[in-house]
Amino acid sequence: MAEEDFTEVTEAYGDWEEEERRRRREAIRDRKPFEGLQVDPEIDFYPEVADREPGDTNIVKWGFDLHPQVTFWSAGILVVFVALTLIFQDQASGVFGEVLSFVGNSFGWLYILAANIFVVVGFFFAFSRYGKIRIGGPRAQPEFSTPAWYAMLISAGMGIGLMFWSVAEPIFHLTGPPPLFGAEPLTGAAGKAALATTFFHWGLHPWGIYALVSLALAFFAYNRGLPLTFRSVFYPILGKRIYGAWGNVIDVLTVLATLFGLATSLGFGVGQAAAGLNFLFGWSTSTAFQVTLIAVITGLATMSVVAGLDGGVKRLSQLNIYLAMAFMLFIIIVGPTLFIFSVFTQGLGEYIAVLPELSFWAEAFTGTTWQQGWTIFYWGWWISWSPFVGMFIARISKGRSVREIVLGVMAFPTLLSALWMSVFGGAAINLQLEGIRDVATAVNENVATALFDMLQAFPLSNFTSLLGIILVVSFFVTSSDSGSLVVDHLTSGGKLDSPKPQRVFWAVMEGLLASVLLIGGGLGALQTAAITTGLPFAIVLLVMCGSLYVAFHEELDLLESHYDAALFRSRHGALLAHHGLDGDGMPVVATEAAGDAEES
């Protein structure tokens, strides 16, 4: 091909890239406002269930629109749990402790193995030929700008947890390093182990779980036309039975895992908010006061629920990110700046170096139980959160490729979490090792006070403590808001528009469950709830990996056999003709000459 022909092809592709950017801008600008997690399927990929509609067996009465089996079983189990915990309040704490030990001792290995499988499968989908699959089909465009997309997934994904554990966890590991590292407490080696372990718990593994779940939910909703519920993910395995008993069991497990995972986070958040108010105003930190706080903040969350996804969650999520970034920048400026950046750099290196061993470490030869309260708890917590966060990310990820979602969900949040932990955890470690402030004593006395105790060592401590409380409350509201949207969507059978009173009901249930867990056993009860509900759901997610592989393979066969060439010709035929190129990107004159040569 002549040099001028290459120039024409380059110009055509340059115009094509500009056209793609224009289409993205128009898709974001012209989309309709979101009220909930609606997905209106544009295709009926499976003819055998084409006559089924989301929520077509629902009970519609008294302002509710409910899938009877999923709603009544989920609500019934929750009511029984709440009643037993309140009736046997004195015994509840001991029972929670025994359950926590049993699950950790008997199934810790399963959690560790499953979390690694999820990360490997996510990277496999991203870097293999499946990475080019686009959610919503080859022509789909994103409905949110990339900054807004990141803001919402970060805010929904880990907001409260990052606030609660950013100082507490590194200090815990500094004073009691994981046995794997063999470091002496309160030394430089312990500090290095503390940051690497914290990065591990908030890095690739949790975000890998979220990425995989969001991929599965988004693909089956946007590319297969099935309801945005967890049962849809298993269509390649169960077929039409997703609308029967098996599908109901899957969605009930999803609802319970989501509610208990959220209740764990809300319990942490309200404990930290109460500790901050105690620091500033001397208010009580009693369980009764925390329950009152939950009621007040849940009320704020219901207002956000009524406002909808665009009016509530999106705006609050962006506000959270702005406030959090300002908070972090302040600590970087007034804190040990060079130490923070050194800790971030060295911590990342140590995390990468120990990641293979740490990922598979199961304390098989140490005879310790350190992981029960840390890694096993975290993996159970992230797995129980995955339906909520995954469904939320799925809903806002239309138009993005598999590779874009996996790398976007795993890479950016991992780096941001590591930076956040380096800033707050690194500053606390510096204070402790330099003898400036004894943060460790405050952490051991009441873990919820960790952040506010550290802030006392820096200027404007009252202001920053107040900002910390505002952030915790704001993250609480977005988590409760997003969670109630997800649970409501599940219990309405994936209905496009379920009534707002129904969303309010589930927001109240989340607050009630968090209150009961605090009454029944505090931090231990919260950890038990996450680990116990995460266990059966880990099995569900492992099966999901196989189902998603089958569906992706099917999709790629379609793409490679028809979509790619046909789509390019249909979308850019006029553009290529303008540059004198045919549908395959070849100069028309050269093509005609080749045809004449063949005829002769």
- The pLDDT tens digits for 411-427 are 888 998 999 999 999 99
Residues 541 and 209: beta-carbon distance below 8 Å: yes
Residues 44 and 227: beta-carbon distance below 8 Å: no
Per residue in 476-492, pLDDT (tens digit) is: 777 777 777 788 888 88
On whether residue 515 sits in a domain, the answer given is yes
pLDDT of residue 93: 74
Per residue in 41-83, pLDDT (tens digit) is: 455 566 666 667 776 777 888 777 888 899 899 989 888 888 8
Q: Calculate the alpha carbon distances from 438 to 277, 333, 340 in Å.
A: 21, 21, 18
On whether residue 23 sits in a domain, the answer given is no
Give counts: helices (H), strands (E), the chain. Answer: 19, 2
Residues 581 and 8: beta-carbon distance below 8 Å: yes
On whether residue 13 sits in a domain, the answer given is no
On whether residue 87 sits in a domain, the answer given is yes
Q: Which helix (H) or strand (E) holds 461?
A: helix 461-491
Q: Which residues neighbour 271 within 8 Å (Cβ) at sequence distance 6 or greater?
A: 164, 285, 290, 448, 518, 523
Q: Coil, strand or helix: which one is 530?
A: helix
Per residue in 353-397, pLDDT (tens digit) is: 999 999 999 988 887 889 888 999 899 989 988 888 888 888 888
On whether residue 579 sits in a domain, the answer given is no
On whether residue 44 sits in a domain, the answer given is no
Taking the alpha carbons at both ends of the chain, their separation in whole angstroms is: 22
Residues 455 and 197: beta-carbon distance below 8 Å: no
Q: Could you tell me the pTM of the whole model?
A: 0.83
On whether residue 578 sits in a domain, the answer given is no
Instruction: Domain count for the chain, please give it.
Output: 1
Supply the range of the domain harboring residue 433. Answer: 62-564
On whether residue 295 sits in a domain, the answer given is yes
CATH number, residue 535: 1.20.1740
Where the chain has pLDDT below 50, the residues are 1-2, 6, 9, 13, 34-41, 563, 568, 571-572, 575-576, 585, 590-600
Instruction: Kindly report the number of other CB atoms within 10 A of residue 37's CB atom.
Output: 26
